[in-house]
């Protein structure tokens, strides 16, 4: 508290003390009288004051708490919102825009960075393709929400993360709140003996399904692991290392018990990427190998399908059986429905190859593109059980082939920039921090082959914040390298 008050003038100190006293009185009053809405008043005022005094830290803290936000589908008049985060984001968005205009500064020469360029192209095409949408209002709302997150956590994130300490302020709080969600979910899950059937909705009200929950946890796994083994590099006392390792084990236990096969696979892929960096394989050759493998898979698709259809292992409470069911495309309803949604997306883009059906419209438009022979026991025309089940098929069906190319370019450029930082930096802190962001993003982008959650704040915040961290680290590393060269 003394560190906080030290930087404030007397007026701000008085205001802060009044709010803290109000909280001290309001919390016991609301509990005793069971009028919990009373808490919203002092918490709301505290947030507003904090936003004015510590704008950047408030944004980062609000982003870090996203895993604990609760989504309300209908607050009246069809309005849905995640609380308490989205009202805070709206307020901070306006405040940061005002600061940028007043200071005549946004992100400086970061506009020239390849990641900033591709993200800007993505936003342009998101809005431009929405003009030709089959449901313009739906697409405009979707584009507005996505642009909002990108502006807050990518564009403003770049500026904030130029301060290296801000990166770990966000990372540590994000991991902390992720652990809270995992602990709550594990406690609730333990009441049902950690059964697979109970895992699908056990993280409610924080996450609507286990896939989104596990994808969010995966963002924090590698950050926590690196903090555990490099405590001294991040100003953490050595005595905390065993505790952090236990917490890491706890988080892995939560991921395993989420029964989310896509997340398990995504973590394996992220580990594989880490191994590639250890062998210093150039990212260019990794991309070439990827497209060769993709082409070979296309040419051999009949043989691959025949081999996969031989697997009859269904989803199981046993870990081994559940892992084997990943490649079951003959009897597993989840896998069959995912393929059904992908085929619908492919048929949709054939009909509208340039602009797609419009951002956010897949769930409303895919129904007529289903074939009766491909329907499963969980098929639906309303999209209430997920949408395209892939970031890539979603981008393709909603924004046409250009949308798919732009999204793929965004993914590859992100990873390529991070590889470059790792290979060129001589600063261990920068390298380790890059690994935190890179491995978390690879886990999500790999998961994105099988699911798409980037429209939700819980996944959108780390997606764009981690990407901004990579841009900030790349610029910082380039500056250090230039300083070294100039001295030579």
pLDDT at 296: 86
Q: How far apart are CA 262 and CA 445, in angstroms?
A: 11
pLDDT digits (tens, 9 = 90+) for 266-301: 999 999 999 999 999 999 999 999 999 888 887 777
| pLDDT tier, 4 (very low <50, low <70, confident <90, very high otherwise) | very low
pLDDT at 149: 94
pLDDT digits (tens, 9 = 90+) for 80-101: 677 778 888 888 888 888 777 7
Instruction: Reply yes or no on whether the pLDDT at 256 is more than 80.
Output: yes
Sign of CA dihedral 454, 460, 466, 471: positive
At residue 244's C-alpha, the angle toward residues 242 and 248, to 5°, is 115
Task: Choose from 8-12, 237-241, 413-417 the range with maximum mean pLDDT.
Answer: 413-417
pLDDT at 320: 54
pLDDT digits (tens, 9 = 90+) for 29-69: 555 555 555 556 666 666 776 777 778 888 998 899 899 88
pLDDT at 83: 76
Q: How far apart are CA 94 and CA 377, in angstroms?
A: 46
Of residues 336, 224, 302, 122, the one with CA closest to residue 130: 122
pLDDT at 92: 85
Q: Which residues pair with 72 in a beta bridge?
A: 81
Task: Name the token pair of 148.
Answer: 């909002």
pLDDT at 473: 98
pLDDT digits (tens, 9 = 90+) for 378-409: 787 766 666 889 999 999 999 999 999 999 99
Q: How far apart are CA 181 and CA 217, in angstroms?
A: 9
Share of the chain above pLDDT 70, in %: 80
pLDDT at 378: 78
Computed over every residue of the chain, the mean pLDDT equals 85
| pLDDT tier, 6 (very low <50, low <70, confident <90, very high otherwise) | very low
Q: How far apart are CA 276 and CA 272, in angstroms?
A: 6
Share of the chain above pLDDT 90, in %: 55
**How far from the centroid of its chain's Cα atoms is residue 124's Cα?**
21
| pLDDT tier, 5 (very low <50, low <70, confident <90, very high otherwise) | very low
Instruction: Reply yes or no on whether the pLDDT at 470 is more than 60.
Output: yes
Classify strands 81-83 and 70-72 as parallel, antiparallel or unpaired: antiparallel
Q: Is 198 exposed, middle or buried (0-12, 13-18, 19+ CB in 10 A)?
A: middle
pTM: 0.90
Contact 477, 170 (CB under 8 A): no
Of residues 189, 312, 205, 310, the one with CA closest to residue 260: 189
Q: How far apart are CA 62 and CA 277, in angstroms?
A: 33
pLDDT at 278: 95
Sign of CA dihedral 267, 273, 276, 280: negative
Q: Which residues contact 331 (CB under 8 A, 6 or more apart)?
A: 312, 314
Instruction: Reply yes or no on whether the pLDDT at 135 is more than 90.
Output: yes
């Amino acid at each position: 508290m003394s560190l906080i008050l030290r930087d404030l003038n007397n007026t701000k100190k008085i205001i802060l003390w009044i709010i803290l006293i109000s909280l001290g009185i309001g919390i016991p009053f609301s509990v005793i009288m069971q009028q919990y809405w009373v808490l919203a008043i002092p918490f709301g005022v505290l947030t507003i004051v904090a936003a004015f005094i510590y704008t950047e830290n408030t944004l980062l803290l609000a982003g870090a708490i996203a895993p604990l936000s609760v989504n309300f589908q209908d607050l009246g008049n069809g309005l849905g919102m995640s609380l308490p985060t989205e009202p805070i984001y709206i307020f901070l968005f306006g405040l940061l825009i005002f600061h940028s205009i007043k200071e005549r500064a946004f992100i400086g020469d970061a506009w020239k960075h390849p990641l900033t360029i591709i993200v800007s192209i993505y936003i342009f095409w998101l809005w431009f393709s929405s003009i030709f949408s089959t449901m313009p209002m739906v697409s405009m709302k979707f584009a507005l929400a996505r642009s909002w997150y990108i502006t807050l956590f990518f564009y403003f994130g770049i500026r904030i993360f130029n301060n290296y300490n801000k990166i770990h302020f966000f990372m540590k709080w994000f991991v902390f709140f992720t652990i809270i969600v995992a602990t709550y979910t594990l406690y609730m899950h333990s009441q049902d003996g950690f059964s697979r059937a109970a895992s699908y909705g056990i993280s409610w009200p924080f996450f609507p399904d286990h896939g989104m929950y596990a994808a969010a946890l995966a963002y924090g796994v590698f950050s926590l692991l690196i903090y555990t083994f490099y405590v001294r590099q991040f100003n953490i006392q050595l005595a905390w290392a065993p505790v952090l390792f236990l917490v890491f084990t706890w988080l892995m236990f939560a991921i395993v018990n989420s029964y989310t096969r896509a997340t398990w696979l995504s973590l394996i892929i992220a580990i594989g990427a880490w191994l590639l960096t250890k062998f210093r394989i150039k990212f260019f050759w990794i991309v070439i190998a990827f497209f060769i493998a993709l082409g070979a898979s296309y040419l051999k698709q009949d043989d691959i399908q025949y081999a996969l259809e031989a697997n009859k292992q269904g989803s199981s409470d046993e870990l081994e059986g559940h892992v084997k069911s990943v490649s079951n495309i003959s009897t597993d309803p989840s896998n069959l429905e995912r393929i059904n949604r992908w085929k619908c997306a492919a048929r949709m883009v054939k009909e509208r190859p340039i602009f797609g059906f419009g951002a956010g419209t897949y769930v409303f438009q895919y129904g007529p593109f289903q074939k009766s022979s491909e329907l499963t026991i969980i098929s639906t025309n309303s999209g209430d059980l997920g949408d395209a089940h892939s970031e890539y098929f979603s981008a393709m069906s909603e924004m046409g082939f250009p949308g798919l190319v732009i999204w793929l370019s965004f993914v590859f450029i992100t990873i390529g920039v991070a590889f470059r930082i790792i290979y060129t930096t001589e600063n261990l802190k920068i390298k380790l921090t890059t690994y935190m962001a890179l491995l978390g993003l690879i886990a999500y982008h790999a998961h994105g082959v099988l699911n798409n959650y980037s429209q939700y704040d819980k996944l959108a915040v780390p997606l764009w914040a981690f990407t901004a961290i990579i841009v900030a680290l790349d610029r910082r590393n380039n500056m250090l390298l230039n300083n070294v060269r100039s001295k030579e």
